[in-house]
Structure 1
Amino acid sequence: MAEEVKLFKTFSTTFGLRVVQALKLKGIEYEAIDEDLSNKSPLLLHYNPVYKKVPVLVHSGKPISESLVILEYIDETWKQNPILPEDPFERARERFWAKFNDEKLLPTIWGVFIKEGKDREEAMAGSVENLKFVEEELKGKKFFGGDKIGLADLVFGWLGNLMGILEEVSGLKIVDERYPLLLAWMKEFSEHPVIKDTWPAHDKMIIRQHLQALLTRTGGIFLCNLS
Protein backbone atom coordinates (compact mmCIF):
# COMPACT_ATOMS: atom_id res chain seq x y z
CA MET A 1 0.00 0.00 0.00
CA ALA A 2 1.39 3.39 -1.01
CA GLU A 3 2.21 5.86 1.73
CA GLU A 4 -0.15 8.82 1.91
CA VAL A 5 1.54 12.22 1.96
CA LYS A 6 -0.40 15.46 2.28
CA LEU A 7 0.91 19.00 2.57
CA PHE A 8 -1.17 21.81 4.04
CA LYS A 9 0.13 25.16 2.80
CA THR A 10 -0.88 28.36 1.02
CA PHE A 11 -0.01 29.23 -2.56
CA SER A 12 2.20 32.12 -1.47
CA THR A 13 3.92 30.99 1.72
CA THR A 14 7.71 30.81 1.47
CA PHE A 15 7.83 28.30 4.31
CA GLY A 16 5.47 25.92 2.55
CA LEU A 17 7.32 26.34 -0.74
CA ARG A 18 10.56 25.04 0.73
CA VAL A 19 8.72 21.85 1.68
CA VAL A 20 7.21 21.55 -1.81
CA GLN A 21 10.67 21.88 -3.30
CA ALA A 22 12.15 19.26 -0.96
CA LEU A 23 9.42 16.79 -1.89
CA LYS A 24 10.00 17.48 -5.58
CA LEU A 25 13.77 16.97 -5.24
CA LYS A 26 13.09 13.67 -3.51
CA GLY A 27 10.54 12.61 -6.12
CA ILE A 28 7.81 12.12 -3.48
CA GLU A 29 4.19 12.13 -4.64
CA TYR A 30 1.93 14.19 -2.38
CA GLU A 31 -1.44 15.88 -2.20
CA ALA A 32 -1.26 19.68 -1.86
CA ILE A 33 -4.00 21.32 0.21
CA ASP A 34 -4.04 25.13 0.00
CA GLU A 35 -5.45 26.77 3.10
CA ASP A 36 -7.31 30.07 3.46
CA LEU A 37 -5.61 31.49 6.54
CA SER A 38 -8.52 33.83 7.20
CA ASN A 39 -10.77 30.77 7.48
CA LYS A 40 -8.60 27.86 8.57
CA SER A 41 -9.97 24.41 7.94
CA PRO A 42 -10.90 22.04 10.78
CA LEU A 43 -8.28 19.62 9.45
CA LEU A 44 -5.48 22.18 9.75
CA LEU A 45 -6.53 23.03 13.30
CA HIS A 46 -6.71 19.31 14.08
CA TYR A 47 -3.25 18.56 12.71
CA ASN A 48 -1.56 21.67 14.14
CA PRO A 49 -3.50 22.69 17.26
CA VAL A 50 -0.46 24.34 18.87
CA TYR A 51 0.52 26.94 16.22
CA LYS A 52 -2.54 26.68 13.96
CA LYS A 53 -0.52 27.55 10.87
CA VAL A 54 1.00 26.10 7.71
CA PRO A 55 2.93 24.23 6.55
CA VAL A 56 1.91 20.86 7.94
CA LEU A 57 3.06 17.61 6.40
CA VAL A 58 0.84 14.61 7.07
CA HIS A 59 2.56 11.28 6.42
CA SER A 60 0.43 8.17 6.78
CA GLY A 61 -1.91 10.09 9.08
CA LYS A 62 0.89 11.51 11.28
CA PRO A 63 1.32 15.33 11.21
CA ILE A 64 4.66 17.16 11.28
CA SER A 65 4.67 20.94 11.75
CA GLU A 66 7.25 23.72 11.32
CA SER A 67 9.08 23.86 8.01
CA LEU A 68 12.62 23.18 9.26
CA VAL A 69 11.40 20.18 11.24
CA ILE A 70 9.50 18.98 8.17
CA LEU A 71 12.58 19.29 5.94
CA GLU A 72 14.67 17.16 8.29
CA TYR A 73 11.84 14.63 8.59
CA ILE A 74 11.64 14.35 4.82
CA ASP A 75 15.40 13.82 4.56
CA GLU A 76 15.43 11.15 7.26
CA THR A 77 12.37 9.34 5.91
CA TRP A 78 13.23 9.29 2.19
CA LYS A 79 16.97 8.70 1.76
CA GLN A 80 17.23 9.40 -1.97
CA ASN A 81 18.69 12.74 -3.08
CA PRO A 82 19.74 13.84 0.44
CA ILE A 83 19.43 17.52 1.33
CA LEU A 84 21.72 17.25 4.36
CA PRO A 85 25.33 16.03 4.09
CA GLU A 86 26.63 13.00 5.97
CA ASP A 87 29.45 14.87 7.71
CA PRO A 88 28.25 16.13 11.13
CA PHE A 89 30.09 19.46 10.84
CA GLU A 90 28.65 20.17 7.41
CA ARG A 91 25.19 19.19 8.64
CA ALA A 92 25.60 21.67 11.49
CA ARG A 93 26.63 24.42 9.05
CA GLU A 94 23.53 23.85 6.93
CA ARG A 95 21.34 24.05 10.03
CA PHE A 96 23.14 27.20 11.19
CA TRP A 97 22.50 29.04 7.91
CA ALA A 98 18.89 27.89 7.83
CA LYS A 99 18.41 29.35 11.30
CA PHE A 100 20.25 32.51 10.25
CA ASN A 101 17.83 33.02 7.37
CA ASP A 102 14.71 32.56 9.46
CA GLU A 103 15.84 34.53 12.52
CA LYS A 104 18.01 37.30 11.05
CA LEU A 105 17.95 37.74 7.28
CA LEU A 106 14.26 37.32 6.50
CA PRO A 107 12.99 39.55 9.36
CA THR A 108 15.34 42.43 8.51
CA ILE A 109 14.53 42.34 4.78
CA TRP A 110 10.80 42.04 5.47
CA GLY A 111 11.17 45.07 7.75
CA VAL A 112 12.52 47.14 4.87
CA PHE A 113 9.28 46.60 2.96
CA ILE A 114 6.78 47.09 5.78
CA LYS A 115 8.42 49.80 7.92
CA GLU A 116 8.89 53.52 7.35
CA GLY A 117 11.26 56.29 8.38
CA LYS A 118 13.96 55.49 10.91
CA ASP A 119 12.65 51.95 11.42
CA ARG A 120 13.08 51.26 7.70
CA GLU A 121 16.61 52.70 7.78
CA GLU A 122 17.51 50.37 10.65
CA ALA A 123 16.00 47.40 8.82
CA MET A 124 17.96 48.33 5.68
CA ALA A 125 21.21 48.55 7.65
CA GLY A 126 20.52 45.16 9.19
CA SER A 127 19.74 43.70 5.76
CA VAL A 128 23.00 44.98 4.29
CA GLU A 129 24.98 43.46 7.16
CA ASN A 130 23.20 40.12 6.89
CA LEU A 131 23.51 39.96 3.11
CA LYS A 132 27.27 40.48 3.45
CA PHE A 133 27.43 37.36 5.62
CA VAL A 134 25.53 35.43 2.96
CA GLU A 135 27.82 36.70 0.19
CA GLU A 136 30.87 35.61 2.16
CA GLU A 137 29.42 32.14 2.78
CA LEU A 138 28.89 31.58 -0.96
CA LYS A 139 32.55 32.12 -1.91
CA GLY A 140 33.79 29.23 -4.02
CA LYS A 141 30.39 27.51 -4.03
CA LYS A 142 27.61 26.85 -6.51
CA PHE A 143 25.12 26.18 -3.71
CA PHE A 144 25.40 26.68 0.03
CA GLY A 145 26.42 23.05 0.55
CA GLY A 146 28.61 22.80 -2.51
CA ASP A 147 27.60 21.39 -5.89
CA LYS A 148 23.98 20.44 -5.24
CA ILE A 149 20.91 21.90 -3.57
CA GLY A 150 20.71 21.26 0.15
CA LEU A 151 18.77 22.34 3.22
CA ALA A 152 20.18 25.89 3.35
CA ASP A 153 19.40 26.48 -0.33
CA LEU A 154 15.77 25.48 0.21
CA VAL A 155 15.50 27.82 3.18
CA PHE A 156 17.12 30.75 1.37
CA GLY A 157 15.08 29.90 -1.71
CA TRP A 158 12.57 32.72 -1.18
CA LEU A 159 15.30 35.11 -2.33
CA GLY A 160 15.10 33.56 -5.79
CA ASN A 161 11.44 34.49 -6.23
CA LEU A 162 9.73 36.56 -3.55
CA MET A 163 12.59 39.06 -3.30
CA GLY A 164 12.13 40.16 -6.91
CA ILE A 165 8.37 40.45 -6.43
CA LEU A 166 8.76 42.58 -3.30
CA GLU A 167 11.28 44.81 -5.08
CA GLU A 168 8.99 45.17 -8.09
CA VAL A 169 5.98 46.13 -5.99
CA SER A 170 7.83 48.51 -3.67
CA GLY A 171 10.32 50.07 -6.08
CA LEU A 172 13.09 49.31 -3.59
CA LYS A 173 16.23 47.41 -4.57
CA ILE A 174 17.84 45.27 -1.87
CA VAL A 175 19.96 42.65 -3.64
CA ASP A 176 22.14 44.47 -6.18
CA GLU A 177 25.63 44.38 -7.69
CA ARG A 178 27.17 44.50 -4.21
CA TYR A 179 26.32 40.80 -3.94
CA PRO A 180 27.48 39.11 -7.18
CA LEU A 181 27.76 35.65 -5.64
CA LEU A 182 24.28 35.86 -4.18
CA LEU A 183 22.86 37.07 -7.50
CA ALA A 184 24.53 34.14 -9.26
CA TRP A 185 23.14 31.72 -6.67
CA MET A 186 19.63 33.18 -7.00
CA LYS A 187 19.72 32.58 -10.75
CA GLU A 188 21.17 29.08 -10.40
CA PHE A 189 18.65 28.05 -7.78
CA SER A 190 15.55 29.60 -9.32
CA GLU A 191 16.30 28.08 -12.75
CA HIS A 192 17.13 24.59 -11.49
CA PRO A 193 15.08 22.06 -13.53
CA VAL A 194 13.17 20.84 -10.47
CA ILE A 195 12.82 24.20 -8.71
CA LYS A 196 11.71 26.40 -11.62
CA ASP A 197 8.33 24.68 -11.95
CA THR A 198 7.45 25.16 -8.26
CA TRP A 199 7.23 28.96 -8.18
CA PRO A 200 3.78 30.52 -7.65
CA ALA A 201 2.29 32.40 -10.61
CA HIS A 202 4.06 35.76 -10.92
CA ASP A 203 0.94 37.84 -11.65
CA LYS A 204 -0.92 36.29 -8.74
CA MET A 205 1.97 37.05 -6.38
CA ILE A 206 2.17 40.66 -7.63
CA ILE A 207 -1.54 41.18 -6.88
CA ARG A 208 -1.06 39.58 -3.47
CA GLN A 209 1.82 41.88 -2.57
CA HIS A 210 0.02 45.01 -3.79
CA LEU A 211 -2.86 44.10 -1.48
CA GLN A 212 -0.38 43.42 1.31
CA ALA A 213 1.17 46.86 0.84
CA LEU A 214 -2.24 48.55 0.86
CA LEU A 215 -3.26 46.79 4.04
CA THR A 216 0.05 47.68 5.68
CA ARG A 217 -0.38 51.38 4.89
CA THR A 218 -3.95 51.40 6.18
CA GLY A 219 -3.28 49.34 9.28
CA GLY A 220 -5.11 46.28 7.94
CA ILE A 221 -4.43 42.63 8.68
CA PHE A 222 -1.62 40.91 6.81
CA LEU A 223 -2.96 38.45 4.30
CA CYS A 224 0.41 37.32 2.98
CA ASN A 225 1.40 35.03 5.82
CA LEU A 226 5.12 34.25 5.70
CA SER A 227 4.92 31.29 8.04
Structure 2
Amino acid sequence: MGIRLYQTQTSMFCEKVRIVLAMKKIPYEIFDVREKRQPLVDFSGQKKFPVMDYNGKCVIDSTFISAFLEEQYPQNSIYPDSPSDKGLCLMLEDWSDEVLNQAIRTFRRAETPEAKKDAEKNLGILFKTLDQFFTGKDFLFGRMTIAEIAIFTQLHYLYTTVKYEIPASCANLLGWMDRMRQKLKLGSLTDSVPAGTSF
Protein backbone atom coordinates (compact mmCIF):
# COMPACT_ATOMS: atom_id res chain seq x y z
CA MET A 1 0.00 0.00 0.00
CA GLY A 2 2.87 2.38 0.71
CA ILE A 3 2.90 5.85 2.23
CA ARG A 4 0.72 8.79 1.27
CA LEU A 5 1.14 12.27 2.74
CA TYR A 6 -1.91 14.53 2.76
CA GLN A 7 -0.38 17.99 2.66
CA THR A 8 0.07 21.41 1.08
CA GLN A 9 3.36 22.67 -0.32
CA THR A 10 3.27 25.91 1.67
CA SER A 11 2.53 24.54 5.16
CA MET A 12 5.53 24.65 7.49
CA PHE A 13 4.33 21.52 9.25
CA CYS A 14 4.04 19.64 5.97
CA GLU A 15 7.53 20.78 5.00
CA LYS A 16 8.75 19.46 8.35
CA VAL A 17 7.43 15.98 7.49
CA ARG A 18 8.84 16.14 3.95
CA ILE A 19 12.30 16.86 5.38
CA VAL A 20 12.07 13.89 7.77
CA LEU A 21 11.01 11.64 4.90
CA ALA A 22 13.88 12.98 2.80
CA MET A 23 16.43 12.46 5.61
CA LYS A 24 15.37 8.86 5.93
CA LYS A 25 15.11 8.37 2.16
CA ILE A 26 11.58 6.98 2.44
CA PRO A 27 9.54 6.83 -0.78
CA TYR A 28 6.02 8.24 -0.60
CA GLU A 29 3.31 9.91 -2.65
CA ILE A 30 1.54 13.16 -1.90
CA PHE A 31 -2.06 14.27 -2.02
CA ASP A 32 -2.49 18.05 -2.21
CA VAL A 33 -5.43 18.93 0.02
CA ARG A 34 -5.73 22.40 -1.52
CA GLU A 35 -7.17 20.82 -4.64
CA LYS A 36 -9.58 18.51 -2.84
CA ARG A 37 -10.15 18.20 0.91
CA GLN A 38 -12.76 15.43 1.02
CA PRO A 39 -10.35 12.46 0.61
CA LEU A 40 -8.45 13.75 3.67
CA VAL A 41 -11.69 13.94 5.67
CA ASP A 42 -12.78 10.50 4.47
CA PHE A 43 -9.48 8.95 5.52
CA SER A 44 -8.75 10.77 8.79
CA GLY A 45 -12.16 11.96 9.96
CA GLN A 46 -10.94 15.56 10.31
CA LYS A 47 -9.59 18.47 8.23
CA LYS A 48 -6.17 19.23 9.74
CA PHE A 49 -2.96 18.36 7.93
CA PRO A 50 -0.38 16.93 7.53
CA VAL A 51 -1.82 13.43 7.74
CA MET A 52 0.09 10.30 6.80
CA ASP A 53 -1.47 7.14 5.45
CA TYR A 54 1.06 4.47 6.41
CA ASN A 55 -0.15 1.26 4.81
CA GLY A 56 -3.68 2.10 5.92
CA LYS A 57 -2.71 3.43 9.38
CA CYS A 58 -3.70 7.05 9.97
CA VAL A 59 -1.11 9.27 11.69
CA ILE A 60 -2.03 12.93 12.30
CA ASP A 61 0.23 15.90 13.25
CA SER A 62 3.81 16.55 12.17
CA THR A 63 5.28 15.70 15.59
CA PHE A 64 3.51 12.35 15.79
CA ILE A 65 4.28 11.56 12.15
CA SER A 66 7.98 12.32 12.69
CA ALA A 67 8.13 10.16 15.84
CA PHE A 68 6.31 7.32 14.08
CA LEU A 69 8.72 7.44 11.14
CA GLU A 70 11.65 7.36 13.57
CA GLU A 71 10.28 4.15 15.09
CA GLN A 72 9.74 2.52 11.72
CA TYR A 73 12.94 3.81 10.08
CA PRO A 74 15.62 4.40 12.76
CA GLN A 75 18.35 5.09 10.19
CA ASN A 76 19.49 8.73 9.96
CA SER A 77 17.93 9.47 13.33
CA ILE A 78 16.12 12.76 13.81
CA TYR A 79 16.99 12.72 17.53
CA PRO A 80 20.30 13.23 19.38
CA ASP A 81 22.00 10.19 20.89
CA SER A 82 21.88 11.00 24.61
CA PRO A 83 18.58 10.94 26.57
CA SER A 84 19.13 14.44 28.01
CA ASP A 85 19.84 15.90 24.58
CA LYS A 86 16.79 14.13 23.18
CA GLY A 87 14.64 15.68 25.90
CA LEU A 88 15.92 19.16 25.06
CA CYS A 89 15.47 18.44 21.36
CA LEU A 90 11.81 17.52 21.88
CA MET A 91 11.25 20.63 23.99
CA LEU A 92 12.68 22.80 21.21
CA GLU A 93 10.51 21.07 18.64
CA ASP A 94 7.43 21.81 20.73
CA TRP A 95 8.54 25.43 21.36
CA SER A 96 8.97 25.95 17.65
CA ASP A 97 5.64 24.37 16.72
CA GLU A 98 3.76 26.38 19.34
CA VAL A 99 5.52 29.60 20.41
CA LEU A 100 7.43 30.45 17.23
CA ASN A 101 4.53 29.41 15.02
CA GLN A 102 2.08 31.59 16.94
CA ALA A 103 4.38 34.61 16.74
CA ILE A 104 4.71 34.20 12.97
CA ARG A 105 0.96 33.75 12.50
CA THR A 106 0.24 36.84 14.60
CA PHE A 107 2.67 38.86 12.50
CA ARG A 108 1.19 37.64 9.23
CA ARG A 109 -2.40 38.29 10.28
CA ALA A 110 -1.84 41.72 11.84
CA GLU A 111 -4.39 44.08 10.31
CA THR A 112 -3.21 47.48 11.54
CA PRO A 113 0.20 49.19 11.48
CA GLU A 114 0.25 49.17 15.28
CA ALA A 115 -0.55 45.45 15.47
CA LYS A 116 2.08 44.75 12.82
CA LYS A 117 4.67 46.74 14.77
CA ASP A 118 3.90 44.88 18.01
CA ALA A 119 4.01 41.50 16.27
CA GLU A 120 7.32 42.36 14.61
CA LYS A 121 8.74 43.38 17.99
CA ASN A 122 7.74 40.02 19.47
CA LEU A 123 9.28 38.21 16.51
CA GLY A 124 12.47 40.19 17.02
CA ILE A 125 12.74 38.93 20.60
CA LEU A 126 12.51 35.34 19.39
CA PHE A 127 15.07 36.03 16.65
CA LYS A 128 17.53 37.36 19.23
CA THR A 129 16.97 34.33 21.46
CA LEU A 130 17.69 31.98 18.57
CA ASP A 131 20.67 34.07 17.52
CA GLN A 132 22.18 33.57 20.97
CA PHE A 133 21.30 29.88 20.87
CA PHE A 134 23.24 29.33 17.65
CA THR A 135 26.33 31.25 18.76
CA GLY A 136 29.38 29.09 18.02
CA LYS A 137 27.27 26.14 16.85
CA ASP A 138 26.89 24.74 13.36
CA PHE A 139 24.00 22.61 14.63
CA LEU A 140 22.46 22.40 18.09
CA PHE A 141 23.38 18.76 18.67
CA GLY A 142 26.22 18.38 16.19
CA ARG A 143 23.96 17.39 13.30
CA MET A 144 20.50 18.13 11.96
CA THR A 145 17.74 16.92 14.31
CA ILE A 146 13.99 17.40 14.56
CA ALA A 147 14.64 20.54 16.64
CA GLU A 148 16.51 22.15 13.74
CA ILE A 149 13.93 20.94 11.26
CA ALA A 150 11.07 22.40 13.31
CA ILE A 151 12.79 25.75 13.84
CA PHE A 152 13.90 26.02 10.23
CA THR A 153 10.50 25.27 8.71
CA GLN A 154 8.85 27.96 10.82
CA LEU A 155 11.45 30.58 9.87
CA HIS A 156 11.56 29.34 6.28
CA TYR A 157 7.84 30.14 6.01
CA LEU A 158 8.72 33.80 6.50
CA TYR A 159 10.79 33.70 3.31
CA THR A 160 8.57 31.49 1.14
CA THR A 161 5.13 32.83 2.06
CA VAL A 162 5.25 35.94 4.26
CA LYS A 163 8.10 37.48 2.22
CA TYR A 164 9.88 38.71 5.34
CA GLU A 165 13.57 38.30 6.13
CA ILE A 166 15.39 37.82 9.41
CA PRO A 167 17.30 41.06 10.19
CA ALA A 168 21.02 41.20 9.39
CA SER A 169 21.80 41.88 13.06
CA CYS A 170 21.06 38.20 13.79
CA ALA A 171 24.25 36.96 12.12
CA ASN A 172 24.47 33.66 14.00
CA LEU A 173 20.88 32.76 13.16
CA LEU A 174 21.33 33.75 9.52
CA GLY A 175 24.50 31.67 9.30
CA TRP A 176 22.61 28.66 10.62
CA MET A 177 19.74 29.27 8.20
CA ASP A 178 22.23 29.20 5.34
CA ARG A 179 23.78 25.96 6.60
CA MET A 180 20.31 24.44 6.71
CA ARG A 181 19.59 25.76 3.21
CA GLN A 182 22.71 24.01 1.92
CA LYS A 183 21.91 20.83 3.86
CA LEU A 184 18.44 20.75 2.33
CA LYS A 185 19.80 21.48 -1.16
CA LEU A 186 17.78 24.66 -1.64
CA GLY A 187 18.94 27.22 -4.18
CA SER A 188 17.69 30.04 -1.97
CA LEU A 189 15.57 30.52 1.13
CA THR A 190 12.60 31.42 -1.05
CA ASP A 191 12.54 27.85 -2.43
CA SER A 192 10.44 25.24 -0.63
CA VAL A 193 11.56 21.66 -0.04
CA PRO A 194 9.97 19.58 -2.83
CA ALA A 195 8.30 16.23 -2.32
CA GLY A 196 10.35 13.17 -3.16
CA THR A 197 13.78 14.70 -2.55
CA SER A 198 16.49 13.12 -0.37
CA PHE A 199 19.55 14.42 1.49
TM tier relative to shorter chain: 0.7 to 0.9
Look up the match of 1:185: 176
Distance in 2 between the 1:77 and 1:130 partners? 34
Note the 1:196-211 alignment, pairs <5 A.
Answer: 196=186, 199=192
Choose the corresponding residue for 1:102, options 97, 106, 109: 97
The reply to whether residue 47 of structure 1 matches residue 43 of structure 2 is: yes
Tell me how far 1:23 sits from its aligned partner: 0.5
Note the 1:59-208 alignment, pairs <5 A.
Answer: 59-115=54-110, 116-146=112-142, 148-158=143-153, 161-166=156-161, 168=163, 173=165, 175-192=166-183, 194-196=184-186, 199=192
- Taking structure 2 as the reference length, the TM-score comes to 0.85
Distance in 2 between the 1:135 and 1:88 partners? 25
**1:179-218 per-position Cα deviation (integer Å, ceiling 9, x unaligned):** 11110111111121x45388268xxxxxxxxxxxxxxxxx
- Taking structure 1 as the reference length, the TM-score comes to 0.75
- Of 152-161 and 76-85, more deviation after overlay is shown by 152-161
8 A contact 1:143–1:149 mirrored in 2: yes
Structure 2 counterpart SS, 1:32: strand
**1:129-175 per-position Cα deviation (integer Å, ceiling 9, x unaligned):** 111221122122112322x211011112225633223464xxx55x1
* Cα 1:200/1:138, change in 2 over 3 Å: closer
Distance in 2 between the 1:128 and 1:15 partners? 22
Distance in 2 between the 1:179 and 1:17 partners? 24
The reply to whether residue 28 of structure 1 matches residue 26 of structure 2 is: yes
* Cα 1:140/1:88, change in 2 over 3 Å: same
8 A contact 1:54–1:66 mirrored in 2: yes
Distance in 2 between the 1:66 and 1:79 partners? 19
**4+ residue segments displaced more than 4 Å:** none
Residue ranges of structure 1 left out of the alignment (5+ in a row): 202-227
**1:105-134 per-position Cα deviation (integer Å, ceiling 9, x unaligned):** 222133223212332222122111111221
Query: What CA RMSD, in Å, does the superposition of the two structures yield over aligned residues?
Result: 2.2
Distance in 1 between the 2:160 and 2:7 partners? 20
Aligned residue pairs total: 190
8 A contact 1:138–1:144 mirrored in 2: yes
* Cα 1:58/1:165, change in 2 over 3 Å: closer
Identity %: 21
